[in-house]
Amino acid sequence: MSFEIIKPDVNINFIGNRYKAFVFSGLLIAVSLFSLLFHQGLNLGVDFRGGLLLQVRLADDPGPERLRDILNAGNLAVSSLQSIGEGEENEYIINFSGGDESSLQGQSLSQTAASVLTDALGDDNVTIRREEMVGPKVGQDLRQKALYAIYYSILIIIIYLSGRFEKKWFISAIFVAILLAALNIVGLLSVGVGTLILTALMVTLITCYIMKFSFALGGILALIHDVLITVGVFSLLNKEITLSFVAAILTIIGYSLNDSIVVFDRIRENTQRFRKLELASVINKSINETLSRTILTSGTTLLALVCLYFLGGPVNRDFALALIIGIGIGTFSSIFLASPILLLWEKKKIAG
């Protein structure tokens, strides 16, 4: 007798609970936007801000406040100080604010920080475990490249979704031409990459609305939902935004899109098979049919990530946390958001 987590004949009314899911997602997005705009904002790490990062282990822990006072007394500008040790491991990650290039002489600054700590706490008490040095110009360049990586990934996803699911590759090409033209116009204004990404998303949503790209609209909105909440949670927890976080965001984008595509494919197949059923019933049936695959795939991935979070060491912890949040939210959005948005849009097209 075989064991099955999800029975083949399961019939959960996901569509009937779509408005509850919308309210839940709306609350999460509101909290994320509040944190990003008014509360913590983005805590940029050394990778993007420039400066010095030191990871130190202390035999006797003086406490974070005492440690900060020692460093400030040595005329070292501490931007953040985070305890990462567990149990009797007294480890800290200390970020020192960047300045101009002349003040960021990596060796002298790290040696100054080490000497300040050893003078106050003793040579045998302080062990430098890791140090990273990034100049402010390098940090700015890395920040721009990270945003461009996100921008181009979104652009390729737009092309794929609008072409594959709408079966209108020629119109999809026009769509991309409109998008690129709009971005070139905005680019002439010498705005930042962040503004380019926001413009790309706005033009994409408006164009999907005008051209009636239902699948693309649902997939892109779910994608924005997943990334925004992940970034918002990191802002709320005051976690550092580093290159590994950007890698996690790109992974989340691909994972979330893959989940939505599996459900969308089944909806498209069932729409042809069950022509007499209402679209809401077809969508609900499709979600239930792919539910086992979705839960097993996401569950095994999350299990591996939880192990990485607890056993992978402090360096990998934030990367694992970002993926846990993103994949968890992405699984939710592929079931409760992407397909219901498709239903709402199709009803609007019929009414129109």
**Dist CA 58 CA 92 (whole Å):** 8
Nearest CA-CA partner of 193 in 238, 131, 252, 150: 150
The yes-or-no verdict on residue 3 having pLDDT over 60 is: no
Nearest CA-CA partner of 226 in 329, 334, 331, 302: 329
Domain boundaries, the chain: 15-45+138-351, 51-134
Mean pLDDT of 109-137: 79
Helical H segments across the chain, by residue range: 18-37, 46-49, 64-73, 106-121, 136-164, 169-187, 193-211, 214-236, 243-273, 279-311, 314-336, 338-351
| Structure confidence at residue 166 (pLDDT) | 63
pTM over 0.85: no
For 321, the token pair is 């946390």
Nearest CA-CA partner of 97 in 56, 123, 150, 134: 134
What are the tens digits of pLDDT across the range 49-93? Answer: 777 788 888 888 788 888 888 888 888 877 778 777 665 678 888
236 against 50, higher pLDDT: 236
The yes-or-no verdict on residue 327 having pLDDT over 90 is: yes
| Structure confidence at residue 232 (pLDDT) | 93
Structural domain 51-134, CATH architecture = 2-Layer Sandwich (3.30)
The yes-or-no verdict on residue 285 having pLDDT over 50 is: yes
Domain 15-45+138-351 class, CATH top level: mainly alpha
What are the tens digits of pLDDT across the range 135-188? Answer: 666 666 777 777 777 777 777 776 777 676 666 667 767 767 776 776 677 666
At residue 281, what is the residue type?
S
Asked whether 132 and 46 are in contact (CB, 8 A), the reply is: yes
For 165, the token pair is 């699911």
The yes-or-no verdict on residue 25 having pLDDT over 90 is: yes
Nearest CA-CA partner of 338 in 278, 258, 270, 244: 258
For 134, the token pair is 């990034």
Phi, psi of 120 (to 5 degrees): -85, -30
**Dist CA 348 CA 339 (whole Å):** 14
For 100, the token pair is 């101009």
Nearest CA-CA partner of 218 in 305, 342, 56, 107: 342
Mean pLDDT of 88-101: 69
